[in-house]
Structure 1
Amino acid sequence: MISSSACESLDRMFVHSLQNTFFTLSGERAEVTQVAQSAPDSGSQMVVLMIAAHTFRLVMALHFPKAADAMRFLAPDSQGDDAGPQAFRDLMSERGNMCCGMVNREIGRFFAHTGMSTPHIIDSRSGPFMTALPHAYATHWRIAVDAQLHIDASLCIHNRAPMDFEWHADAQEEVTGELEFF
């Protein structure tokens, strides 16, 4: 069982990581809204990552639209499809790692021995089947990058033990990318 407090905390964690991972083309934080179910475009791909501990597994999926549309956002200096499919997969994986890493760091405050998977790229048509697997909680979100481009995100949780915690984003913004000296 996952308590309502844990579900709300996981939602806040996920939205916080999405907002800190995705920005609009003008450089502002992207708007993230909850949707009933992700609706990926045909021909789109998704990057899937997992966070696992002894008592739970979180599956996170980011559904990227067709390569040219998403590449315009992920690599504004590239020429869309000219960057190549491997470059597109690498950029999707990088964003997925950033998002999942933030959630992993925050959930690690409550659960010991969490581990994060490497990104897997699959066709977005597999997305609806995420909730067909046994799960205790699932939620879907839409990230509005601009008027034409949106990215869908899904979170699915399977647990083997009760899960209850309360998380709120710290009042101070965390600085990333700087060296830390011990």
Structure 2
Amino acid sequence: MIGTHAKDSIERIFFAAARMRLVTDAQHSCEIEPRVGEAPQGEHLVVLTISSMQFRLLLLLHFEDDECTQRYYVGDAARGLTECFMEFGNLCCGAMNQQLVEHFPDLGMSTPYALSSGCLPYLRELKPDYVQSYALTIDHDVRLGATLCVCTQAPLDFVASTAAVEARDSAGELELF
């Protein structure tokens, strides 16, 4: 079971992390809207996991391999979109992890991996306690989707400080565990 404070805290933590880490320039906007009853946007998925003794949080980032997304995340780099996007997803998940570790000191974070969006219906096999999808618009042009999925091992409720979520802005340092 996941409490309403935990749901709100996880959402606020995700919103702050997405606005800081899914943009290529700090001046770019990241608009986030909840999606209700619609399939999340994007043919491809990047999956990241934050796990503790009490819960497992999956962050699924959805994207299309289209010209607009390529131009924004790849530019003229010699790497593919999925590889570049995994780096941004990893930064976003890392920012979430930094906030959550203040409440759960035993966190671990997975290496990002890519899947087809056809795998999304299998989330229900995890018997999640909380699932929420969002539509993201980056710099008024790039369309992404995101799904937060939380599975708990025990009752989960906490309140993340609003000031800490909004104020934290690191430069993406490497964090060793």
Q: Quick check: TM above 0.5?
A: yes
Which TM-score applies when normalising by structure 1?
0.83
Partner of 1:161: 154
| Contact 2:47/2:115 (8 A) holds in 1 | yes
| Shift, 1:64, TM fit | 1.1
Partner of 2:34: 34
Quote the sequence identity (%). Answer: 29
Give ranges in structure 2 of 5+ residues lacking alignment: none
Partner of 2:98: 105
Which aligned pairs between 1:67-86 and structure 2 lie closer than 5 A? 67-78=66-77, 83=78
Give the count of matched residue pairs: 171
| Shift, 1:127, TM fit | 2.1
Q: How far apart are the structure 2 equivalents of 1:53 and 1:29?
A: 31
Question: What letter matches 1:74 in structure 2?
Answer: Y
Matched position secondary structure for 1:158: strand
Give ranges in structure 1 of 5+ residues lacking alignment: none
| Shift, 1:105, TM fit | 0.9
Structure 1 residue 175 corresponds to structure 2 residue 170? yes
Q: 1:174 to 1:72 in 2, by over 3 A?
A: same
Q: 1:72 to 1:166 in 2, by over 3 A?
A: same
Q: 1:26 to 1:172 in 2, by over 3 A?
A: closer
Matched position secondary structure for 1:59: strand
Q: How far apart are the structure 2 equivalents of 1:40 and 1:175?
A: 29
| Selected match of 1:94 from 70, 87, 93 | 87
Matched position secondary structure for 1:15: helix
Partner of 1:21: 21
Matched position secondary structure for 1:47: strand
Aligned-CA RMSD value: 2.3
Q: How far apart are the structure 1 equivalents of 2:172 and 2:54?
A: 31
Which TM-score applies when normalising by structure 2?
0.85
| Contact 1:70/1:149 (8 A) holds in 2 | yes
Q: 1:135 to 1:119 in 2, by over 3 A?
A: same
| Contact 2:22/2:89 (8 A) holds in 1 | no
Q: 1:40 to 1:174 in 2, by over 3 A?
A: closer
| Shift, 1:162, TM fit | 1.2
Q: 1:99 to 1:8 in 2, by over 3 A?
A: same
Q: 1:177 to 1:101 in 2, by over 3 A?
A: closer
| Shift, 1:60, TM fit | 0.6
| Contact 1:40/1:125 (8 A) holds in 2 | no
| Contact 1:38/1:128 (8 A) holds in 2 | no
Q: 1:68 to 1:5 in 2, by over 3 A?
A: same
Partner of 1:134: 127
Matched position secondary structure for 2:170: coil
